[in-house]
Amino acid sequence: MTVINHHTRLVGLIGWPVAHSLSPAMHNAAFDARGMNWVYLPLAVRPGNEYSIGQAIQGLRALNFVGANVTVPHKEAVHSHLDALSKRANEIGAVNTISIRNNLIEGDNTDADGFLADLAENRIDAAGQQALIFGAGGSARAIAVALAKAGASRVTIAGRNEARVASLVSALAPGIANTEVVSVATATDLSAALGKAYLIVNCTPAGMSGQWEQSLPAEAATLRFGPGQVVYDLVYNPRKTRLINLATEQGAIGVDGLGMLVHQGALSFRIWTGTTPPIQVMRDAALDCLENMT
């Protein structure tokens, strides 16, 4: 058990909300397993105010944090408050990991690689396949780039905010040469894209424990799945979201977001500490925490 003192090194999670997150339990278990005097803290930052997120980022530097994770809805908003971006973060256009070295705040992104690691673990091969993403935020950006790296032939972006979806497609398309990136504008187009997709990924908070728990990323009547399709929900709390239950009832394979959480967190751990992450310890801690929340 870490004894907090003047030697304790600090990292945390910037987002809103953060009460549902398994990241503090996961990382603190990893630090304990490695015998490191580190602590990971939840850092709730209310959205809708650029001043607030800017102050939060500068606060990390002022308080001698080593770094932080960034989650919804701040993954894109943090950009203008950082000193530098890694190649991955610049390519994706979103940040989920911040590191602070020599007073320099750098943004990185481990979401795409964490997602690909979990696809491999679940033996899901997107090469040559069509995929559909619900959402147009920072997570959707990372997943689209990851699917292009995995060799997907087409990635379709769907969301309730048409302007934001169109903006994301315009931003991604030039940098993804071998994967077609398109959007859908109508329910008919969405149904057609769903029918052709091998992999469907929910990158919205729909289904998350709390105010969104009973929601879906699209109208229920539109969501038709079948055998041979994989429905991957980035939501991990609860693990059986309404979307996954709907997919499995219709014969599709449902995969929750816990594996991606663990893998992206392990990559962040490596960035901050420079040491090998205890992945199984992190997974076990996340599962234990999730069970205690229910």
75 is annotated as an active-site residue: yes
Of 75, 87, 149, 240, the active-site residue reads 75
CA distances from 175 to 16, 97, 137, 221 (A): 30, 22, 17, 34
Cα–Cα distance, 7 to 209 (Å, whole number): 35
**Residue 124: count of CB within 10 angstroms of its CB:** 17
What is the enclosing helix (H) or strand (E) of 146? Answer: helix 138-149
What 3-state DSSP class applies to 134?
strand
Question: Residue 57 burial (CB < 10 Å; 0-12/13-18/19+)?
Answer: buried
Asked whether the beta carbons of 141 and 93 are under 8 A apart, the reply is: yes
Active site members: 75
